[in-house]
Amino acid sequence: MVSPTATLSWFLTYGLLATALPNTHLQVLKSVTAPGIGFKIPKATHPWTAAAGLPKQSKNVQRIHSNCGSKTNSKSVAAIIGAHQRQVGGYGYQNVTSTSAFGTQYAIEAVWNGTRMMLIVDTGSSDTWVVRKGFSCVDYHGESVPQVACGFGPAYPKDFQYGLTSPEEHMFIQYGDGETVTGPMGFSDITLGNITVKKQQVSLANTTYWVGNNQTSGLIGLAFPSLTNAYLGSSDDHDPGNQIEYSPLFSNMVNQGTVAPLFSIAIDRNASTGLLAWGGIPPVTGLDNSRTATLDMIITNLIDKESAAYEYSFYTVIPDGWQFGQTSDLTKYPFIVDTGTTICYLPPNLADAINRAFTPAGVYLWMYGAYFTSCDAVAPRISVILGGVHFWINPRDLIYQRMVDPLTGLCMTAIASGGSGPYILGDAFLQNALAVFDVGQAKMRFIPREFY
């Protein structure tokens, strides 16, 4: 059992006194930072996580279930910046992809005050919510439509276990191509595997514009407090001045002393599952333990988001570069590691060069904001270089056979332009690695997984 007092003290401060940056890192951050965005490397150490190598295998492991939705997986806030940014009211962030084909969403089972619910897992946002019985489903224009149009699984039939946080406090968040969720906030016990988080602040969504998969009923955000979306005022008041930061689910899981401050994710390719481990790593096969990569976790300063200048927000790293075919690009750019995004978003010139290396070459379709190629195209050999280790992406993960443009018959590729950044390592990458989100050491750790 982790000491709650020591854990709380560390986690509330995040160990966020910035260290003196090495000259190489300073040059990297100055050369690649987009306008209005800043990055720095935090100083964070913690006695319960490994200073080198990987943590021990966790006893708290949950199975991840994949579900095909009617769009690419955009249940995340991780790509709010750059060419894809669009804010609608306050800090209700959204993601980037607006394709009308099929993507994959990853979910785990949560016991919400005794009721079992399937919730999407997202490392690129921080709020946890479930749709409540009797909710109002609206369309893109805010007009009421039948509940079935939102595509949720079973709605939560109860109220908050411990009552409201405040009669005036509510959550508002915007995802994807305009999907929105709003509802009151309160406190309930949330159980994940063998771990119960007591009196967690959550939302019961009562109004949504949503494009669901008819199986999941909400979302678990695993990022940091600076990305929470609670507001004071009426449900349509999302003024930034009324925003209230709170402690999200994983923060409280650590604060309450139930696990060490890390979690890890392994997404399976040839099955509809994967594993999520709390406080350690899951028992997965096909790992190449001789090629472990460890990278600093970078603080990401969001546009007009003051707290993100000194608190963690996203799980951000700086890869050494990319290789595709015989070509390497070793320019250092920051990337967010995000389970809530299906594909990888790269700098525009790099994304274009990689897509031209497909046979036949990928073509950019502006209506999707993505590249498409023949569904039986030959993908180039692509790797992202992390900590000196090449993480090769399986060719099967680079062309989405179910994401077909009906006019051209072409399939979408897994490499897209991320505009001015920061950029994203999405599920196409994560299917090829075990990813360890080591908050205690302010590190991201990766182990390559064998192609199978």
Token output for 337: 């590691």
- Whole-number Å distance between alpha carbons of 363 and 373: 6
- Whole-number Å distance between alpha carbons of 70 and 215: 12
Q: Residues with Cβ < 8 Å from 290, sequence gap 6 or more?
A: none
Token output for 443: 């590190």
Burial bucket for residue 13 (CB in 10 Å: 0-12, 13-18, 19+):
exposed
Whole-angstrom CA distances from 58 to 21, 61, 192, 223, 288 are 33, 6, 14, 20, 19
Q: Phi/psi at 84 (nearest 5 deg)?
A: -100, 0
Q: Residues with Cβ < 8 Å from 367, sequence gap 6 or more?
A: none
Q: Are the C-beta atoms of residues 249 and 328 closer than 8 Å to each other?
A: no
Active site residues: 122, 338
Please state whether beta strands 363-365 and 370-373 pair in parallel, antiparallel, or not at all (unpaired): antiparallel
- The upper half-sphere exposure of residue 9, i.e. CA atoms within 13 Å in the direction of its Cβ, equals 7
- Whole-number Å distance between alpha carbons of 443 and 317: 9
Element (H, E) at 324: strand 321-324
In the chain the first and final C-alpha atoms are separated, in Å, by: 37
3-state DSSP call for residue 349? Answer: helix
Token output for 408: 């051209």
How many other CB atoms are there within 10 angstroms of residue 395's CB atom? 16
Task: List residues bridging with 173 in a β-sheet.
Answer: 181
- Whole-number Å distance between alpha carbons of 445 and 286: 16
| DSSP output for 364-404 | EETTTTEEEE-TTPBPPPEEEEETTEEEEEPGGGSEEEEEE
